């Protein structure tokens, strides 16, 4: 077994690998760019080496820098994690030349499967079901359009190298093929250094199902069941689970046999994933093979009890797999959500900044359920523009799918993050959707469920009553605390009105609170009579009200605002103002603040890098035309004209780094 390994990655996956290595008694070496000098993975590792400036091409993608760090620290092996160099054939070859072990598959397997065009040819040769398409390299837009016409729309334009949704576009027309081809090539070039793309038929209403495989260097290969990864946005996975609610035992066996056959055909000898696209009738087709550890590997670990990182390390050290296929059993259900630094109400635009508060949920396993948080950040850390926007992965496990979803929903409610925008409210809302709970999924799920984009859920019915009751109790506790302040002026004790008016956005509740220790009874006289019993040890200043409401376990996030609180629960976020009846009468007369009007300026929607400006000063522009392309966190975003107009002035150029809301151009 190795004494010291280097992790050629950053963020949550670097921290994840360090934890397993530490358990195995292996020393770890972290590498970091100047932007990650204070990162969590640097703090966790036994040793850390600076390898370059913030841009990944000059640090985490530099094979020379990684090999140099290995020599400097005498690391015997390298784990690449996922992304960056994990699927570059040149990386294990360079390590082999330097007599350093690569904790991953052999270079030939990476070459065969890492290239999506070649992998489809290999899959067809191994009798694996494949999607109809054109597997040759496409020269230009004209050829791309011609091929798409032959295959039939819709089609998928996909980068041959890499993964993670980068360099992938769905096109339903000739015009979309032309633009999608250009964007896919550009993203592929910047992300993977390879601008080759191919085109294949896009399966309507598809599901994304993948099989985890595991091989050793002695010819043994097994699979660990499937994961469902159909909940995607912009071709990137958002929620994953294992097993899949679609797949039965027979289909699982068929998919597993094909995945293992493909792995054996290319001599695969590590952890890897064979991805399939499946229709709603359980017909499945090979999509690609990821020759690395997947982001969503924790759901497989929780249902199988197998540590995939440990297996990769043991296999790389030359050990045989200790497991046979018959030893693999699936126990219970696991659900994973990806916590991203992005703003769901602004079309999920990336968000950067400092984590002024980061409090993950309790990870104690109780009642046969598990909560696991894989992260690479800590409170006070900064989310950088240079890398992937993932903050953490929240994974829950329970005996059944319904229970795993319930545990996930509660864990999301108790995950407190401040300082940047994030998608927790979106994920919490998704957990409440009947279609998700019933397992009726497809890769277009988010687009279909949120056709007009995501908007925070409105408090209604029992949820509104519960939030109003919590706000009333919080206010009562605050008033009691004010009464206890020392050094107050002499005279009669301050008397607080018994009745409170709680305004939840536009709805009003009139309530009275009777409180004793951690228990309270809230009696409502309007909008209709009701009584709710609450219990919680909450104290002023805490961000989480965790207790029971009407006998049901409830977690509500609390943020103080003038005259009240911002409360969040199950994807619902409300501003709860608490007034006396006299104050409420005055508040009703206050004017509403109008929304911001950007006028005739086109502003940068997120902190990002200007890739290109598509117009010139004085140019007439029609609604829908491309104005500029902005890259943030490895994704390109096209800014289009909302209306017809003439470009008056351009304030940015390609290569500029802009802050959010910086003016890019103006219309006359």
3-state DSSP helix/strand/coil percent for the chain, to nearest 5?
30, 35, 40
User: What pLDDT is recorded for position 223?
Assistant: 98
User: What pLDDT is recorded for position 189?
Assistant: 85
User: What pLDDT is recorded for position 595?
Assistant: 52
**How far is residue 425's CA from residue 103's CA, in Å, rounded to a whole number?**
37
How many CB atoms within 10 Å of residue 417?
Answer: 23
Q: Per the structure block, which two tokens stand in for 154?
A: 């819709």
- What structural domains does the chain harbor? 4-103 (3.40.50.20), 119-126+209-324 (3.30.470.20), 132-201 (3.30.1490.20), 332-449 (3.30.470.20), 461-483+497-587 (3.30.700.30), 601-667 (2.40.50.100)
Q: Which residue has the higher pLDDT, 644 or 264?
A: 264
User: What pLDDT is recorded for position 651?
Assistant: 94
- DSSP per-residue letters across 315-330: HHTTPPPS--GGG---
User: What mean pLDDT do residues 35-60 have?
Assistant: 96
Residue 288 known to be catalytic: yes
How many CB atoms within 10 Å of residue 541?
Answer: 8
Choice among 12, 240, 288, 631 that is catalytic: 288
User: What mean pLDDT do residues 410-434 have?
Assistant: 96
pLDDT of 419 strictly over 80: yes
- As a whole-number percent, the residues of the chain with pLDDT over 70 amount to 98
pLDDT of 66 strictly over 90: yes
**pLDDT tens for each residue of 194-253:** 888 889 888 888 999 999 999 999 999 999 999 999 999 888 899 999 999 999 999 999
- The answer to whether the beta carbons of residues 665 and 652 sit under 8 Å apart is yes
**pLDDT tens for each residue of 330-368:** 999 999 999 999 999 888 888 888 999 999 999 977 789
Give the distance, in angstroms, between the CA of residue 357 and the centroid of all CA atoms in the same chain.
19
**pLDDT tens for each residue of 463-492:** 999 999 999 999 999 988 887 788 878 887
User: What pLDDT is recorded for position 132?
Assistant: 76
User: What pLDDT is recorded for position 594?
Assistant: 59
Q: Per the structure block, which two tokens stand in for 92?
A: 């294990």
pLDDT of 38 strictly over 90: yes
Mean pLDDT of the residues in the chain: 92
Work out the pLDDT band at 117, boundaries 50, 70, 90: confident
Work out the pLDDT band at 593, boundaries 50, 70, 90: low
User: What mean pLDDT do residues 66-76 have?
Assistant: 98
User: What pLDDT is recorded for position 376?
Assistant: 96
User: What mean pLDDT do residues 407-419 have?
Assistant: 96
Q: Per the structure block, which two tokens stand in for 448?
A: 């279909």
User: What pLDDT is recorded for position 637?
Assistant: 82
Polymer length of the chain: 668
pLDDT of 164 strictly over 70: no
Give the distance, in angstroms, between the CA of residue 142 and the centroid of all CA atoms in the same chain.
35
Q: Per the structure block, which two tokens stand in for 360?
A: 């993950």
- The answer to whether the beta carbons of residues 459 and 467 sit under 8 Å apart is yes
**Among the ranges given (59-63, 116-120, 497-501), the one the predictor scored with the smallest mean pLDDT:** 116-120
**pLDDT tens for each residue of 288-308:** 999 999 999 999 999 999 999
User: What mean pLDDT do residues 147-170 have?
Assistant: 84
- The answer to whether the beta carbons of residues 27 and 101 sit under 8 Å apart is no
Q: Per the structure block, which two tokens stand in for 547?
A: 């207790």
- The answer to whether the beta carbons of residues 507 and 464 sit under 8 Å apart is yes
**pLDDT tens for each residue of 605-662:** 878 889 999 999 999 998 888 999 988 766 778 898 888 899 999 999 998 988 888 8
User: What pLDDT is recorded for position 162?
Assistant: 66
Q: Which residue has the higher pLDDT, 323 or 120?
A: 323
């Amino acid at each position: 077994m190795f004494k010291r390994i280097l992790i050629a990655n950053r963020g949550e996956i670097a921290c994840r690998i360090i934890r397993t290595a530490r358990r195995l008694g292996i020393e770890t070496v972290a590498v970091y760019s100047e932007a990650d000098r204070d990162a969590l993975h640097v703090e966790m590792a036994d040793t850390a080496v600076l390898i370059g400036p913030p841009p990944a091409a000059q640090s985490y993608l530099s094979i020379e820098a990684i090999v140099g760090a290995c020599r400097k620290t005498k690391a015997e092996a390298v784990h690449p994690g996922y992304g960056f160099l994990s699927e570059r054939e040149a990386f294990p070859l360079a390590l082999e030349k330097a007599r350093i072990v690569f904790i991953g598959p052999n270079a030939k397997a990476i070459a065969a499967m890492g290239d999506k065009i070649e992998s489809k040819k290999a899959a067809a040769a191994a009798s694996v079901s494949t999607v109809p398409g054109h597997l040759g390299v496409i020269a230009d837009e004209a050829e791309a359009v011609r091929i798409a016409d032959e295959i039939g729309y819709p089609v998928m334009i996909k980068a041959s190298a890499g993964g993670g949704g980068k360099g992938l576009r769905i096109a339903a027309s000739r015009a979309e093929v032309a633009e999608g081809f250009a964007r896919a090539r550009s993203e592929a070039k910047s992300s993977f250094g390879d601008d080759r793309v191919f085109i294949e038929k896009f399966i309507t209403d598809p599901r994304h199902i993948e099989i985890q495989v595991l091989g050793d260097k002695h010819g043994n290969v097994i699979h660990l069941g499937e994961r469902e990864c159909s909940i995607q946005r912009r071709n990137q996975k958002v929620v994953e689970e294992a097993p899949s609610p679609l797949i039965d035992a027979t289909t699982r066996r068929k998919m597993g046999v094909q995945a293992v056959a493909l792995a054996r055909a290319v001599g695969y000898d590590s952890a890897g994933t064979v991805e399939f696209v499946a229709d709603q009738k359980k017909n499945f087709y090979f999509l690609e093979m990821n020759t690395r550890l997947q982001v969503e590997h924790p759901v497989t670990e929780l249902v199988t009890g197998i540590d995939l990182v440990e297996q990769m390390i043991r296999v790389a050290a030359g050990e045989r797999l200790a497991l046979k296929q018959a030893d693999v059993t699936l126990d219970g259900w696991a659900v994973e959500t990806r916590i991203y630094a992005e703003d769901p109400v602004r079309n999920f635009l990336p968000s950067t900044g400092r984590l002024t508060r980061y409090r993950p949920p309790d990870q104690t396993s109780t009642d046969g359920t598990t909560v696991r948080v894989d992260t690479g950040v800590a409170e006070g850390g900064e989310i950088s523009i240079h890398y992937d926007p993932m903050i953490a992965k929240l994974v829950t496990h329970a005996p059944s799918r319904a229970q795993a979803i319930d545990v996930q929903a509660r864990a999301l409610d108790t995950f407190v993050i401040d300082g940047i925008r994030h998608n927790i409210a979106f994920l919490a809302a998704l957990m409440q959707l009947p279609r998700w709970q019933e397992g009726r999924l497809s890769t277009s799920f988010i687009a279909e469920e949120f056709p007009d984009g995501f908007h925070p859920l409105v408090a209604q019915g029992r949820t509104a009553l519960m939030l109003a009751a919590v706000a009333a109790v919080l206010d009562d506790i605050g008033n009691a605390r004010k009464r206890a302040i020392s050094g107050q002026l002499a005279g009669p004790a301050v008397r607080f009105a018994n009745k409170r008016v709680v305004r939840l956005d536009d709805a009003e509740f009139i309530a009275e609170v009777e409180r004793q220790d951690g228990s309270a009874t809230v009696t409502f006289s309007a909008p209709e009579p009701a009584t709710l019993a609450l219990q919680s040890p909450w104290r002023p200043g805490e961000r989480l009200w965790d207790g029971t409401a009407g006998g049901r376990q409830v977690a509500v996030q609390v943020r103080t605002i003038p005259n009240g609180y911002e409360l969040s629960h199950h994807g619902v976020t409300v501003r709860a103002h608490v007034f006396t009846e006299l104050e409420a009468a005055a508040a009703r007369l206050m004017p509403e603040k109008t929304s911001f009007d950007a006028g005739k300026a086109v502003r940068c929607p997120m902190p990002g890098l200007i890739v290109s400006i598509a117009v010139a000063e004085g140019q007439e522009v029609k609604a829908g035309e491309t104005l500029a392309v902005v890259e943030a966190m490895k994704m390109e975003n096209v800014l289009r004209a909302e209306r017809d107009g003439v470009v008056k002035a351009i304030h940015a150029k390609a290569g500029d780094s802009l802050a959010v809301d910086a003016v890019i151009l103006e219309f006359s």
